[in-house]
Structure 1
Amino acid sequence: MGFNVHTITTDRTKQFCHFIKTLRYEDIPPAVIERAKMMIMQTVGVSLCSAELKQVRDAMDIAIEMSAGKEGDATLWADGRKVSWEAAAFAAGTMGDMLDWEDCSVTGHPSATIICTAIIGAEVLKKSGQEMLTAVVAGYEAYQRIALAGRSNITSYNIFGNLAVLMKLMDLDELKMNQAFGIGTACAIINTNIHEITMSDSLDYLYGYRAENTVTMIKTAVAGIENMEDAFDDPTAYLVHCGYQEPEWLTKDLGSHWMMMDMLLVKHWPANVFVQTYAELATKLVTKCAFDPDQIQEIIVRPSVAFRHWSSETGYDSVTQAQFSIPYGVACAMYHPEPGALWYQPETMKDPRIIALMQKVQADGFVKMEGLKIIKDLIDGKHPEKFMIVRMKDGTEYEESAFTHPGHPHYMLTRDAFKDRFRLETKRVLSPERAEAVIEYICHLEDKQDASGLPALLF
C-alpha cells in the first residue's frame, strides 16, 4: 500500500481493480457480449454520420495538426489518414457525442468514449476481438459504478470508463490499475453543467478531451508513479467532492449484475434523451398518415418536459440548443423523418418552415420528475405515457401515443434493428458494400485474432 495520511477502512478500489484484472471473456454472459457488439455498431454508426458537420471536420483538422510531421499508429475515422493514438481518440470521442445519438445512462454517455477508446486501443496494441469486447464490458462496469457511487461532472465518468478499457487492453497489474484510477480522480472535473446553461457545442469536445487525456494518463501509470492508490476509499480523494455519495455501488453485485443491460438507453434519434419519444411520435405520425407538415394548425404533446420545451422564433445557431428542444425535434422530424446530420446543418436549424412549425408545438401539462434521479426514473420506466395530437388546418386530427421509444432497456432494439440503424447512419459516409462489411466484422468480432482491421473499414 502506498503512503496515505488518512486511515483507509475499506478496499473497494482494490476489489474493483481485481475484478478488471481477472475478468475473462468466458466469464461474460452471451447477452452482455451481444449488447457490447451492438453498442460498438451503434456508436461507430453515429460517429461516422457526424462527419458531415463542421465541428467534426474541425476536430479532424486538430487531430492532423496534433500529429504534424509524423504518421501515427491510429486511423482517423471517416477520413483514413494515420494520426497519433491521442489525436485519433480526440477526434473519435468528439464524433461519438456530436449528434447526441449514441446512448444515455443514468449519468451521461459512456459509449461516446468507451467504444472509441476500445477500438483505437485494440488497433494500436493489436488486440483480438475477444480482448476488445472484454475491455468494453470492463469500461461500462467502471463508468456506471463510479458514476452511481457519486455525482460528478457528466464527462468525468468517461475518464474512469476509458481507463478501465485501457487497463484491460494493456494488461496492467492491479497496483498500476489502482494508481491509474488515482490519476483519474485527480483529473476528474467539478460538478458543473455550464454546457447546459450556455447551450454550447463545446460539450462534444469534452468527450474528445476525455478520450485523448486518458491515453496519456494510462501511459503515465505504465511508466510508473508512486502512491495515488485507493482513491475510492480515501475519505477526501473523490467521493467527498461529489453531489451525493453511495460508495456501495462500486462493488455491489460486481461480476453478476452487468450494468449495460439495464442502465443503458440506446438513442433511436439524434437528440437529447428527453426529446427521443417525441421525435418517435412525430415520425410515426407523418409517415403513417402522410400529411403535409405545411398544413398543420397545431401539435399538442401531452405531457411535455418543462426544461426541454422551448422554441426559437429565429432558429438555432447551436446544435446543442436544437438537440435539447422538443419543439425542434418534433418539427424537424416532421419535415425530415429520416434522421441524420442533416438535422443539424445550419440551413436546417434556420429553415423557416421548421421555425414556424416549432411555434405550433404546445404542451398539455408536463412530466413530473424531480431531483438527481430524473434520468434513472426515465430508464426505470417511471414516466407517463406520452401522446401527440396533430390538428390540421382542415380540422382533421391525428393521434399517436407511446410510453417510450425503441432502444429503451425495456424496449431494446433487435440485432436486425441495430443493423438497419447503422445502414441509415452511414449511408452518406460509407458505400453499401463497406457498411455491410463493417456490420459483418462487428457481428463476428469474437472470431478476430487481430481486431485492428476494424478502423480500416471506417472510411
Structure 2
Amino acid sequence: MTKIIDYIRNSQWQDFPSSVKHNAFRSMFDTIGVSAAASKTELSAIIRNHAARMFGGAGASLWWDGRKVSPVGAALANAMSIDALDAHDGQKLTKGHIGCGLIPGIMAIAEAEGIDDSQEIMTAMVLGYEFGTRAGISLHASTSDYHTSGAWIAVTVAAIGARLMKLNESQMRHAMGIAEYHGPRSQMMRCIDTPTMVKDGSGWGAMAGVSAVYLAADGFTGAPAVSIEGKDVADHWADLGQHYYMDEQYIKLYPVCRWAQPAVEAVLDLIKHHDITADQIANIEISSFDEAVRLCSMAENTEEAQYSLPFSVAVAACHGTIGVDEISTAGLTNPNIQAMARKVNVISNDDFNAEFPKRRLAIASIETTEGGRFSSAPTEAIGDPEAPVSDDVLRQKFDTLAASCDPETQKRLSHALGDLRHMPDMNKVLAIMQKH
C-alpha cells in the first residue's frame, strides 16, 4: 500500500510518457465537450437543483449553471450531469468510465482549495486514470456482482483528492477506506434491464470520494480499502507506474451505451457497402454478447434510448449516425425510428461472450424487402485504443457537442482546452463553465 500511496503523492507531469500526456489532453477535451451537451438534459437540471438545495455552500461551481455549492455537491451534480449523456470515454476491462466521475471530483476539490495549477490538475487526472482503471478491474475481480463505475470511482476520487489536499499517508489510506465503504455498490445490470436516471453511479461515487477526502483530513477513520490493499488483488496493482492505462481508454462517437456501438458500426457498414436505404430494410438481426443483448428496451425517454441496442441501431439505419437530437425528443417521437427499432432482433453469441469485456463484438444481418440478405463480419466499435479516432475526428465530436453553447462560448472553450498537444488552461476552462 505504501508503494501505491507514494506513487500517487510523488508523481509529476514530467514522469509520464508523451503518449500518456496526449491521451490525457484528449480525454479532458472530450469530457468537457460532453459536459456542455449533457447540461441540457432533464437529468442535469434535476441534479443541479438538488445540489444547490441540499449541498449548498460557496466552494465549487455547478458547471454550465453559475451557482456555487459545496465541493461535495459540485462533484455529485457535475459527474451525474456528464453521466446523463452516454458519450464520455471509457475503458474496456473496467466495464465502465473513469473520467466521468474523476474529472468533476478533482476539479471540485481544486476549485474549493484554490489549486489553479493546470499541470497539477492534469497530473492528478492521469494518476486518476491509472488508479481508477486498476480499481475497477480489482473490484470486478473481487466480487460476483457487477457494480457501476461509481463504486470504484469513489475510491479513485478519494485517492487523487488526497494528493491535491496534501494529506499524509495515514490520512490518504483512511480516505480510500472511507470512500470504498461509503461508495455506491450499485448494480449496473439493474439499470441496463430497467434504464432510469441512476445510470452508472458516477455522481454518487464522485461525491463519496470528495466527502471521504475531507473526512479523512478532519481525522475520520475508515481504512483499509480492501479492493486496493487486499492480497488477492495485489497483482492488479503491481505494474502501477510501469504500464499506462491512460493509453487504453476508448473514445465514443455516439451518445449511447458502448455495448450497442459494435452493432451500430456493423449496420452502418452493411448499409454503406450494399447501398441499402432505410425503406428497403425488412428486418435486422444482431448477434452479440449477452450484456449487449440485455440492452433491449423500447425507448420512451433518453435514458431508455441510450441503453437500447434496437433503438441505437434504428437511429443509425434511418439517419446514418447517432446524435444528441436522435436520442432526445426529436428521435423519440420519430415514427420511422420507432418502426425500425421494432424490426431489430438481438441474439446471443457464445464466441463473443468469451471475448467480453476485452473485446466487444457484433455481427449484423440485414434482410431487405426484396428478399436479399447481407451479413457483416464480426465488428468492433470505432474509437477503441487499438483503432483510435484521430484528433480531427475528436474535434468534430467536440464541436458538435459544444454547439449547445453559443458560438463565442464554444470558441473560447475550445481555445482554452488547447490543441491536444499542449497544456490546457484549466482556469479559463472552469471560468467558462461557470457561466450560465
Report the TM range for the smaller structure's normalisation: 0.7 to 0.9
Tell me which residue corresponds to 1:414: 390
Relative contact order, CA 8 A, sep 6+: which one is greater? 1
User: Are 1:142 and 1:160, in contact at CA under 8 Å, matched by a contact in 2?
Assistant: no
Q: Deviations over 1:60-93 (max 9, x none)?
A: 221222355x5x2423222233333222211211
Amino acid corresponding to residue 356 of structure 2 in structure 1: I
**Is it true that 1:343 corresponds to 2:326 in the alignment?**
yes
Residue of structure 2 aligned with 1:61, choices 30, 49, 53: 49
Other structure's SS at 1:410 match: coil
8 A Cα contact 2:184 2:201, kept in partner: no
Scaled by the length of structure 1, what TM-score is found?
Answer: 0.82
Q: 1:79 to 1:189 in 2, by over 3 A?
A: closer
Among 279, 302, 318, the alignment partner of 1:294 is 279
SS in 1 for 2:380: coil
Deviations 1:319-344 (A, max 9, x none): 44433332211101223445333233
User: 1:220-299, aligned counterparts within 5 Å?
Assistant: 220-225=215-220, 228-232=222-226, 245-250=232-237, 252-262=238-248, 264-283=249-268, 292-299=277-284
- Mapped to 1, the partners of 2:108 and 2:264 lie a distance apart of 33
Give the 3-state SS of the residue equivalent to 1:299 in structure 2: strand
Contact 1:180 1:218 in 2 (8 A): yes
- Output the CA distance in 2 between the equivalents of 1:112 and 1:218: 19
Give unpaired runs (5+ residues) of structure 1. Answer: 1-12
Which residue of structure 1 aligns with residue 432 of structure 2? 457
Deviations 1:393-425 (A, max 9, x none): 345777665632221010112222211111112
Change beyond 3 A, Cα 1:365–1:144: closer
Distance (whole Å) between structure 2 residues aligned to residue 254 and residue 205 of structure 1? 25
Distance 1:442 1:402, change over 3 A: farther
**Aligned residue number for residue 172 of structure 2:** 177
Distance 2:344 2:130 in 1: 39
**Which amino acid counterpart does residue 438 of structure 1 have in structure 2?**
L
Q: CA deviation at 1:369?
A: 4.0
1:160 aligns with 2:141: no
The DSSP-based 3-state class of the residue aligned with 1:437 is helix
CA 1:39–1:172 in structure 2 vs 1: closer, same or farther (change >3 Å)? same
- Per-residue CA deviations over 1:96-120 (Å, capped at 9, x if unaligned) read 2222221232222111111222333
Aligned 1:112-131 pairs, distance under 5 A: 112-124=100-112, 125-131=114-120
1:286 CA displacement: 5.4
Residue 92 of structure 1 aligns with which residue? 78
2:71 and 2:108 in contact (8 A); partners too: yes
Secondary structure in 1 aligned to 2:415?
Answer: helix
Provide the residue aligned with 1:374 in structure 2: 356
1:353 aligns with 2:336: yes
**1:17 Cα shift?**
0.6
Tell me how far apart the structure 1 counterparts of residues 273 and 13 of structure 2 sit (CA, whole Å).
44
Aligned to 1:103: 89
Indicate the residue corresponding to 1:23 in structure 2: 11
1:141 equivalenced with 2:130 (yes/no): yes
| Matched AA of 2:236 | W
Partner Cα distance (2:226, 2:55) in 1:
35
- C-alpha distance in 1 between matches for 2:299 and 2:424: 47
Distance across 1 between alignment mates of 2:308 and 2:158: 33
Name the CA distance, whole Å, in 2 between partners of 1:15 and 1:311.
Answer: 40
Q: 1:231 to 1:297 in 2, by over 3 A?
A: closer
Distance change in 2, residues 1:431/1:202 (3 Å): closer
Change (3 A) 1:398 1:425: farther
Q: Is this contact kept in 2: 1:129–1:447, CA < 8 A?
A: no
In structure 1, C-alpha distance between the alignment counterparts of 2:208 and 2:349, rounded to whole Å: 40
Report the residue type matching 2:119 in the other structure.
Answer: Q
Structure 2 residue runs of 5 or longer lacking an equivalent are none
- Equivalent residues of 1:295, 1:393 under 8 A apart: yes
Query: What is the identity, as a one-letter code, of the residue corresponding to 1:97?
Result: D
1:278–1:165: structure 2 CA closer, same or farther, 3 Å change rule? same
% same residue: 23
> Which secondary structure does the structure 1 equivalent of 2:201 belong to?
helix
Q: Report the Cα distance in structure 1 between the residues aligned to 2:336 and 2:420, rounded to whole angstroms.
A: 44
More displaced, 203-212 or 282-291? 282-291
Distance 1:311-1:84 versus aligned 2 partners, 3 A rule: closer
Q: In structure 2, give the amino acid aligned to 1:84.
A: S
Where 1:388 maps in the other structure, the secondary structure is strand
